[in-house]
Amino acid sequence: MVRFVGVQNAVRWIRATGLETILGELSEYVADDYRRWESFDKSPRVANHSPIGVIELMPTSDGHLYGFKYVNGHPSNPSRGLQTVTAFGVLSDVASGYPLLVAEMTLLTALRTAATSAMAAKHLARADSATMAMIGAGTQAEFQAIAVREALGIRTLRVFDTDPLASAKLVRNLTPLGFDVYVASDSADAVAGADVITTCTADKANATVLTDDMVKPGVHINAIGGDCPGKTELDAAILRRADVFVEFPEQTRIEGEIQQVESDFAVTELWQVVSGTTTGRASAEQITVFDSVGFAIEDFSVLRYLHDKTNHSAFSIDIDLVADPDDPKDLFGFAQGSDAPVPAL
Ligand SMILES: NC(=O)c1ccc[n+]([C@@H]2O[C@H](COP(=O)([O-])OP(=O)(O)OC[C@H]3O[C@@H](n4cnc5c(N)ncnc54)[C@H](O)[C@@H]3O)[C@@H](O)[C@H]2O)c1
């Protein structure tokens, strides 16, 4: 039997555990896997593009466990009442090839993206950061804000979204959690005085959510929404003034903000900062950019975390995903009922 965590059980588990606890523990799981980055089998994700979106497969393995995520990205989906990003995934045992866990990953994607942003901010933002700007108040936004608050202790959130209803939703969700939220009139207003800027918009275009003049010395930017060819958020001039940190360069050069600059543009791999082999922030004036596109190891980390936390709990159930005849060579007999009879409907 394979364990399954569907949407309802994922929601029950999040409510029972608490989002802050999950984001804090998950950041540690992601950091543990970043520290052993070199032991993972890595490749850029496999992407199938259409004019309005993308469907991607994201596999990786540490030699003991194998994980993959199926994820879509369709920025125009909300106008049809659908989500921009949905996902599900699998964690398997490398020794047998058998799946251990099948999970919904729409919620898990929001969790792991936020946990990774928090990890990046912890290493790259100024330790005295107090104000965060959030450009884009959609699905990911609250998770990003809570995770960065857990990492840095930020107190004030300045938000801008082209959709006022999205900003109102964010205020509704975060004010009860103690956030002091200011709704800005535009991106420039949102980033004024901010120490950490998170761009998390959805538009299948080379958008300029932040222009160069908006970014002051000492700022850290988590650039989340530019994650596909032809889909970016930052003015390229920002990248040239900043130190840019990436997940897996082979994937980020195709999908990230750095698709806008030359193919040998200097970047630092975030795992090297997390593992202490290279420096993150070197001065209070430095501008740092985490050019996040989302990498398979982060999905592996959240599947590993979920499996550890729910495997022997009521938050997961058994599903009969794998045909497993008593005689492993008699799949035919199994299908015909002479091996292990399947109860009639
Ligand atoms: N890097 C990663 O690991 C990762 C993970 C998940 C999602 N993403 C990306 O993050 C982005 C946000 O995801 P989501 O699920 O929150 O999407 P969403 O559609 O729920 O929210 C996006 C929000 O951005 C707003 N927006 C669009 N253009 C804007 C602009 N120019 N200025 C201000 N606001 C603007 C929209 O009104 C919307 O509210 C998407 O592009 C998605 O592909 C990246």
pLDDT tens readout for residues 171-185: 999 999 999 999 999
Look up residue 59 and give its amino acid: P
pLDDT exceeds 90 at position 190? yes
Give the ligand 1 atom nearest the CA of 292: 1
- Tell which residue, 117, 136, 128, has the closest CA to residue 153: 128
Task: Tell me what the pLDDT averaged over the chain comes to.
Answer: 97
pLDDT exceeds 90 at position 338? no
Q: For the packed helices 106-124 and 19-35, what is the interaxial angle rounded to 10 degrees?
A: 70
Measure the CA–CA gap between 24 and 286, rounded to whole angstroms.
26
> Both ends of the chain: CA-CA distance in Å?
20
DSSP string, 93-126: ETTT--EEEEEE-HHHHHHHHHHHHHHHHHHHS-
Q: What is the Å distance from ligand 1's center to 111 Cα?
A: 15
pLDDT exceeds 80 at position 340? no
Give the ligand 1 atom nearest the CA of 77: 19
pLDDT given at position 341: 63
Residue 280's pLDDT band (boundaries 50, 70, 90)? very high
pLDDT exceeds 70 at position 143? yes
Residue 60's pLDDT band (boundaries 50, 70, 90)? very high
Measure the CA–CA gap between 4 and 318, rounded to whole angstroms.
6
pLDDT exceeds 90 at position 161? yes
DSSP tag of 51: T
* Minimum CA distance residue for ligand 1 atom 42: 225
- The mean pLDDT of 303-323, rounded to a whole number, is 97
pLDDT exceeds 80 at position 343? no
Q: Is 163 near ligand 1, meaning CB less than 6 Å away? A: yes
**Neighbouring residues of 302: CB distance < 8 A, sequence distance ≥ 6:** 26, 29, 30, 105, 108, 111, 112, 115
Give the ligand 1 atom nearest the CA of 135: 33
Q: Is 252 near ligand 1, meaning CB less than 6 Å away? A: no
- Tell which residue, 271, 259, 316, has the closest CA to residue 297: 271
Residue 134's pLDDT band (boundaries 50, 70, 90)? very high
Give the tokens for residue 152.
Answer: 């840095």
DSSP string, 288-316: EEEE----HHHHHHHHHHHHHHHTTSTT-
Give the ligand 1 atom nearest the CA of 295: 3
Q: Is 136 near ligand 1, meaning CB less than 6 Å away? A: yes
pLDDT exceeds 90 at position 345? no
90-102 pLDDT, tens per residue? 999 999 999 999 9
pLDDT given at position 339: 61
Residue 162's pLDDT band (boundaries 50, 70, 90)? very high
Q: What is the Å distance from ligand 1's center to 113 Cα?
A: 12
Task: Judge whether 33 counts as a catalytic residue.
Answer: no
pLDDT exceeds 90 at position 222? yes
Q: What is the Å distance from ligand 1's center to 74 Cα?
A: 10
Residue 155's pLDDT band (boundaries 50, 70, 90)? confident
pLDDT exceeds 70 at position 120? yes
DSSP tag of 225: S
Residue 267's pLDDT band (boundaries 50, 70, 90)? very high
- Tell which residue, 325, 314, 336, has the closest CA to residue 3: 314
Q: What is the Å distance from ligand 1's center to 170 Cα?
A: 13
Of 161, 227, 235, 299, the active-site residue reads 227
Q: What is the Å distance from ligand 1's center to 61 Cα?
A: 28
Q: Is 310 near ligand 1, meaning CB less than 6 Å away? A: no
pLDDT given at position 204: 86
Task: Report the residue among 85, 86, 211 best suited for mutation to probe ligand 1: largest number of ligand atoms under 8 A from its CB.
Answer: 85
pLDDT given at position 337: 83
How deeply is 82 buried, as exposed, middle or buried, from its count of CB atoms within 10 A (0-12, 13-18, 19+)?
Answer: exposed
pLDDT given at position 114: 98
How does strand 53-61 pair with strand 65-73? Answer: antiparallel
**Neighbouring residues of 275: CB distance < 8 A, sequence distance ≥ 6:** 34, 35, 37
